[in-house]
Amino acid sequence: MPELPEVQALADFLRARTAGLAVVGVEIGSITVLKTFSPPPDALIGAPIDGVARFGKFIDLDCGGTHLVFHLARAGWLRWSDALSSTVIRPGKSPIALRVRLDDGSGFDLTEAGTKKRLAAYIVGSPEQVPGIATLGPDPLGAAFTEPQFAAILAGRRAQIKGVLRDQGTIAGIGNAYSDEILHVAKMSPFAIASSLDPTTVTRLYAATRETLTAAVAAASGKPAAELKDAKRAGMRVHGRTGATCPECGDVVREVSFADSSLQYCATCQTGGKPLADRRTSKFLK
């Protein structure tokens, strides 16, 4: 799933590549992708792209005051082409969920792999009309995201810190991968309870959050969409690296599996050397 750094890179790429261009076509390839019905897709045709912004994991294209907003979800991606095929996509016949054509012949496809169709697009008058944007927490790289604000957020949450970091209504843009990375840098158990953290630990976690995301954004910056997935994987310290060597201490990277996801961590760095058992059959480490 693309998270804040990759979504920011995609937004930056689209902003640079679409400047001065207008939409000449919108094609729907999946009946589930479009979550709004008014304005219709044709409302975008002829509109200039006036700007591209990121809200958490959402990308917003301002098309002459009408906004195309999309969220790539777990298996979605953006595929750019300098010269789009002239073939009109047919619903249900390809992994392409939505295609946007621009007036210089370029454009992009939103694609989704797998059978669970969660990629979502919205055509709205304002980004705040998208439910997921309206309920977003603060952006962890925003100027307003200060350590006192972060401490106040944690103090009010008696929940595992891994889940708090991933909760989009609490903090926007962090998902499974970067929460693993942040906790590894902060040397914290993913099962620690947020409200129980002492001030020194909160300071360490705040610094790890800002530093990890800032570095990831810098690493993704300027890369075309086609290279972002590989760049993300290459930059991971523990996430997705079960069985590999921890780059910090040399211990093995371990995994805890859940019904539809997993987390990775280093026991030496994060849990005092004690491996975590499955959350369904063990007590949480604090």
Torsion from C-alpha of 16, 17, 22, 24, nearest 10 degrees: -150
Q: Identify the pLDDT of residue 98.
A: 97
Beta 107-112 vs 96-102: how paired, if at all?
Answer: antiparallel
Q: Identify the pLDDT of residue 282.
A: 47
Contacts of 217 (CB under 8 A, 6+ apart): 4, 5, 8, 9, 141
Beta 120-124 vs 66-71: how paired, if at all?
Answer: antiparallel
Cβ atoms of 156 and 149 within 8 Å: the answer is no
Cβ atoms of 59 and 70 within 8 Å: the answer is yes
Longest pairwise C-alpha distance within the chain: 60
Q: For residue 218, what are its two tokens? A: 């810098």
Q: Encode 135-150: b = buried (16+ Cβ within 10 Å), e = exposed.
A: ebbbbbbeeebeeeeb
Q: Identify the pLDDT of residue 117.
A: 83
Contacts of 213 (CB under 8 A, 6+ apart): 4, 5, 140, 141, 173, 174, 178, 182
pLDDT in tens, the chain (286 residues): 899 999 999 999 999 999 999 999 999 999 899 999 999 999 999 999 999 999 999 999 999 999 999 999 999 999 999 999 999 998 877 889 999 999 999 999 999 987 788 999 999 999 999 999 999 999 999 999 999 999 999 999 999 999 999 999 999 999 999 999 999 999 999 999 999 999 999 999 999 999 999 999 999 999 988 899 999 999 999 999 999 999 999 999 999 998 788 999 999 999 999 999 865 444 444 4
Q: Identify the pLDDT of residue 278.
A: 61
Q: Identify the pLDDT of residue 281.
A: 45
| Interatomic CA distance for residues 2 and 173, integer angstroms | 9
197-248, pLDDT tens digit by residue? 999 999 999 999 999 999 999 999 999 888 999 999 999 999 999 999 999 9
Cβ atoms of 181 and 236 within 8 Å: the answer is yes
**Unique residue bearing structure tokens 């975008």:** 44
The distance in angstroms from the start CA to the end CA of the chain is 28
The 3-class SS string of the chain reads CCCHHHHHHHHHHHHHHHCCCEEEEEEECCCCCECCCCCCHHHHCCCEEEEEEEECCEEEEEECCEEEEEECCCCEEEEEECCCCCCCCCCCCCCEEEEEEECCCCEEEEEECCCCCCCEEEEECCHHHCHHHHCCCCCCCCCCCCHHHHHHHHHCCCCEHHHHHHCCCCCCCCCHHHHHHHHHHHCCCCCCEHHHCCHHHHHHHHHHHHHHHHHHHHHHCCCCHHHHHHHHHHHCCCCCCCCCECCCCCCEEEEEECCCCEEEEEHHHHCCCCCCCCCCCCCCCC
Q: For residue 166, what are its two tokens? A: 């991933």
